Amino acid sequence: MRQRILQATIITVLLAVLMLGIPLAVSWLLVVRSDLNAAAIDIHRHTIVAVDERLSQGQPVDEAMLQEIVESPSFSGQRFRVVVQVAGQAPVAAGAEAGEHPLTVSGAGLRNETVEVQIPQSEVRSQTASAWVLIIVAGLAALSISVSVALWQAQRISAPLARLTRRAEALGTGRARAPWEASGIAEIDTVAEQLASSGAMLNERLEAESALASDASHQLRTPLTALSMRLDEILATSSEEWVREEARISLEQIDRLTSVVHDLINAPRSSQRRTPGVVELRQVLTQQSEEWSPAFRAAQRELTIQVPRTAAVWGSVGPLTQVVATLIENSLAHGGGRTQVKVRRNERSTVIEVSDQGAGIDPALGKRVFERAVSGPRSKGTGVGLALARTLVEDDGGRLELLAERPATFGVFLISAPGDEAQEGAFPEPPPAAPVEQGAVLPRRRPARGRGRQSDGQRGDGQRGDGQRGDGPRGDGPRGDGQSGDGQSGDGPSPDGQSGDGTDPTA
């Protein structure tokens, strides 16, 4: 601010000095030449009178006579040369040499003599130079005064602006409480008053949102806790193995939902970004496969997941799970055919690609799919999912990009974490299933977690041979699972009509 005010003032003064000084110097030159010309005419008249009087007395015109005119007190301080040409005589001259291009006044006398007065150009330049010196001195004085005034004015304006800037920063942190002291500049005082008013309204909104967040936290957690307790009761009392399994899966989903609610409520309050940790993608994608497979079967579609046995990345489990779920849900809602989730990695980066065989994304929409409130013409969504997913990925130092529009392919780029490299394994593609009737329950089986439960029948968990996994008999009859090898799990029917979901043996 100060520098801009100083520059503007200096430029203005320089232009004023140039626009006034140059015409003034030219005018001064013309005045000097006019004065010298008048002096030359006066000397010329005086010389003609003296020469005519001398010739009328019969005396010759000599250099001594002209020298008296040059040294006359009437013309003291004036440098000039007088030349007289009398008919039949040689020219007579007196005074200093006039040099080249002198200021000349010439005329004839009563005796036909010619008198010429010459004033040298050096006399013109000397008097004009003094004018230039005065103009330059006046210009420098004006420039110095203007710089002083500009510095004072810049300080007067910039100091309130600096205070206003600090007050705006304090409003952002909620520390501005003292009233604004008037600066004497109406425009700045008006901005400060409006800023204080806006800050007060912002604080009111933040307090209202904080109260809403607290209320929402209480209202959401209470029913979730009650539901979790009910599922725990079912898990402990039910004799049906598949019921207990569904209850356990539901409990895990409730835990994730509780974590999401907690993150959403605390995100606006947190002033620091979360610190990423090491996340094993195989576990995240295994859970997503089990969670979304029933929905894909109900839609008569396929969901396949390919992931290396060890695929560790830097990130946060909760947000990364939400991102993958958002991409799979978008594919289920707007895509078609098979949905494939594939992980590719190297020493530095890991990418999760989610693609399907549907019509893809309208090219006119393109990269705008990541903007909030932007969705396709036939979409019934809010347009928030992909925008939120990109924000979650970027908070962990990654990127979410649209790799291809047709077919739609999204890529989640993450930083690889240290881990043993292994060949890629794939979850089996579930076979197309018949439409599920409304209200039907899709039984599912999760991998062993090293614990055993007993009901009507015995279940042996955690027993595994070289590619063979065996489950104990259930109360309603034995159940046979397919063979699982390195990275490939079996998906076979059970005798009681229930289906067994493919689960990677190392998950």
| Amino acid 139: pLDDT | 84
Runs of H (alpha helix) within 174-275 = 186-237, 241-266
Q: Please indicate whether residue 341 or residue 207 has the higher confidence score (pLDDT).
A: 341
Q: How sure is the predictor about 265, in pLDDT bands with cuts at 50, 70 and 90?
A: low
Measured CA to CA, the distance from residue 404 to residue 366 in angstroms comes to 9
Residue 471 one-letter amino acid:
D
Token pair for residue 305?
A: 């997941």
Mean pLDDT of 161-167: 81
Question: Does residue 469 contact residue 463 with C-beta atoms inside 8 Å?
Answer: yes
Percent of the chain past pLDDT 70, that is, above it, reads: 75
Q: Please indicate whether residue 481 or residue 218 has the higher confidence score (pLDDT).
A: 218
Q: What is the pLDDT of residues 365-402, one digit of tens each?
A: 777 888 876 776 566 666 678 888 898 899 888 999 99
Q: How sure is the predictor about 296, in pLDDT bands with cuts at 50, 70 and 90?
A: very high
| Amino acid 377: pLDDT | 58
Q: How many other C-beta atoms are found inside a 10 Å radius of the C-beta of residue 131?
A: 17
Cα angle at 97 between 94 and 103, to 5 degrees? 100
Q: Give per-residue burial for 394-412: e unless 16+ CB within 10 Å, then b.
A: eebebebebeebebbbbbb
| Amino acid 158: pLDDT | 79
Number of H helices, E strands in the chain: 8, 12
Measured CA to CA, the distance from residue 417 to residue 350 in angstroms comes to 9
Kindly state the DSSP code that residue 429 receives in the 8-state scheme. Answer: P
Measured CA to CA, the distance from residue 213 to residue 330 in angstroms comes to 28
Mean pLDDT of 352-362: 89
| Amino acid 69: pLDDT | 85
Burial label, 434 (beta-carbon count in 10 A; 0-12, 13-18, 19+)? exposed
pLDDT surpassing 80 at residue 467: no
Q: What is the pLDDT of residues 488-506, one digit of tens each?
A: 333 333 333 333 333 343 3
Q: What is the pLDDT of residues 305-321, one digit of tens each?
A: 999 888 899 998 888 99
Strand residue runs (E) in 29-186: 81-85, 92-95, 103-108, 114-119
| Amino acid 425: pLDDT | 41
Measured CA to CA, the distance from residue 461 to residue 178 in angstroms comes to 67
| Amino acid 461: pLDDT | 36
Query: Per mean pLDDT, which range of 204-208, 251-255, 457-461 is the poorest?
Result: 457-461
| Amino acid 304: pLDDT | 93
**Residue reference for tokens 């996994």:** 469
Runs of H (alpha helix) within 238-363 = 241-266, 281-298, 317-334
Cα angle at 179 between 178 and 184, to 5 degrees? 135
Give the pairing type, strands 409-416 and 349-355: antiparallel
Mean pLDDT of 126-137: 82
CA distances from 167 to 33, 147, 178, 187, 196 (A): 65, 30, 9, 16, 9
410 has which bridge partners? 354, 402
Measured CA to CA, the distance from residue 162 to residue 154 in angstroms comes to 12
Q: Which residue pairs, CB below 8 angstroms and at least 24 apart, start in 471-476? A: 471/445, 474/241, 475/239, 475/240, 475/241, 476/240
Q: What is the pLDDT of residues 82-126, one digit of tens each?
A: 898 888 788 888 888 877 878 888 888 877 888 898 888 888 788
Measured CA to CA, the distance from residue 213 to residue 225 in angstroms comes to 18
| Amino acid 474: pLDDT | 36
Rounded to two decimals, what is the model's pTM? 0.45
Mean pLDDT of 250-265: 74
Kindly state the DSSP code that residue 370 receives in the 8-state scheme. Answer: G
Q: How sure is the predictor about 269, in pLDDT bands with cuts at 50, 70 and 90?
A: low
Q: Please indicate whether residue 16 or residue 492 has the higher confidence score (pLDDT).
A: 16
438 three-class SS: coil
pLDDT surpassing 70 at residue 46: yes
Q: Please indicate whether residue 246 or residue 339 has the higher confidence score (pLDDT).
A: 339
Q: Please indicate whether residue 46 or residue 269 has the higher confidence score (pLDDT).
A: 46
DSSP H or E run through 349? strand 349-355
93 three-class SS: strand
Q: Phi and psi for 26 in degrees, rounded to 5?
A: -65, -40
pLDDT surpassing 60 at residue 212: yes
| Amino acid 424: pLDDT | 41
Size of the chain, expressed as the number of residues it contains: 507
Mean pLDDT of 3-11: 81
Q: Please indicate whether residue 260 or residue 334 has the higher confidence score (pLDDT).
A: 334
pLDDT surpassing 90 at residue 353: yes
Over the chain, what is the mean pLDDT? 75
| Amino acid 263: pLDDT | 65
Q: How sure is the predictor about 420, in pLDDT bands with cuts at 50, 70 and 90?
A: low
